[in-house]
Amino acid sequence: MMNRKSYPFFTYSGLLNSEHYDKMGSAIWLFLWFVSSTTKEQIKDGIKWGLVLGHKPVKAREMADVFTVSEKTVRRWLEILEQHEYIKTVRAPYGLIISVKHSKRFTPKGTLTRPEVTDRTITADHRDKNVQREIDITKNHTAEEAINEIAAHFIRLRSAQEGRSVYPSPRDYQAIARIVSLGASVQEAIKWLGECFAAFEQRRTSSAETIKAFSYCAKFIEDRLNARIAGRTITTKKERNTIHDNTNDRADSCRPEKRKTSITGGQTGRIRRKPL
């Protein structure tokens, strides 16, 4: 399971070498978030640019909340990244439009080396194996893939509900990462997201009422995840108790019956006095 304080990004070979770290310093965490949040790419003047959140304006406060730092720190990080030409920003009325230079976000797998990071991979041991086997036995998602797939499905549901295109916010990604870290598989999260939106549709009284953030669905998903884990625990305990009971029954059937001692040697009837 991922450490709750770690970030579910995959990185490319060479990105975290001393040359880049000397330039970025602690701003490297913001840059990695930009890489992870890139949803589209476009080529301009021969340079491939990654569009962070599809060029949805992002406020400094939203980025600060992701890393639990001040807005001043975020602005300093942005200045460093732009100074060394890792990113390009454009001011908009509701925040900054951010592009990642030389984006490799959607480079086909196999053309880049991805280092092993033990805390970013969710293995089958952290999921309900029975559920996973019934739904999909071929897909083994990394944490980063799981988060992006869940985010994409959430945005599809939101866009359909809003009647327009919407994009995930930094807080949405943070809430999704937490759900994944708790052990929810992609299939479970997508199934429960659908149930959450369906339940919301039954309750809402006007089209103006919509789900604005993933955090609304997070509690719904957590409740079902906890119920699934609790159900599996109860089943395991019952199976263990059954095995224990069967073992005791076999032991009792094989144990010889204890013989009772008797002062008459097992003889019955009147006991006569021996003649003198």
User: 65-91 burial by CB neighbour count: b if 16+ within 10 A, else e?
Assistant: bbbebeeebbebbbebbeeeebbebee
Is position 36 within any domain? Answer: yes
pTM of the model: 0.44
Domain containing residue 136: 121-228
Is position 157 within any domain? Answer: yes
135: pLDDT confidence band, cut at 50, 70 and 90?
very low
pLDDT at position 145: 82
Is position 169 within any domain? Answer: yes
How many domains does the chain contain in total?
2
Residue ending a domain, among 192, 210, 228, is: 228
The rounded distance, in Å, linking the Cα atoms of 198 and 204 is: 10
Same domain? 90 vs 136: no
Return the amino acid letter for 184: A
pLDDT at 132 over 60: no
Is position 107 within any domain? Answer: no
Same domain? 125 vs 223: yes
What's the mean pLDDT in 34-38? 84
Local structure of 70: helix, strand or coil: coil
Out of 22-26, 131-135, 240-244, the most confident range is 22-26
pLDDT at position 170: 80
Same domain? 83 vs 48: yes
Q: What is the DSSP letter of 6?
A: S
The conformational region for residue 170 under phi > 0 = left, psi -120 to 50 = alpha, else beta, is alpha
Q: Name the pairing type of β-strands 87-92 and 95-101.
A: antiparallel
Rg (CA), the chain: 31
pLDDT at 77 over 90: yes
End-to-end Cα, the chain, rounded Å: 90
Which of 216, 226, 94, 105 is CA-nearest to residue 157? 216
Indicate the average pLDDT of the chain. Answer: 75
Same domain? 127 vs 93: no
pLDDT at 250 over 90: no
pLDDT at position 220: 95
Is position 182 within any domain? Answer: yes
pLDDT at 1 over 60: no
pLDDT at position 110: 46
Residue ending a domain, among 228, 245, 264, is: 228
pLDDT at position 92: 86
Is position 13 within any domain? Answer: no
Torsion over CA: 23, 64, 57, 180 (sign): positive
pLDDT at position 238: 59
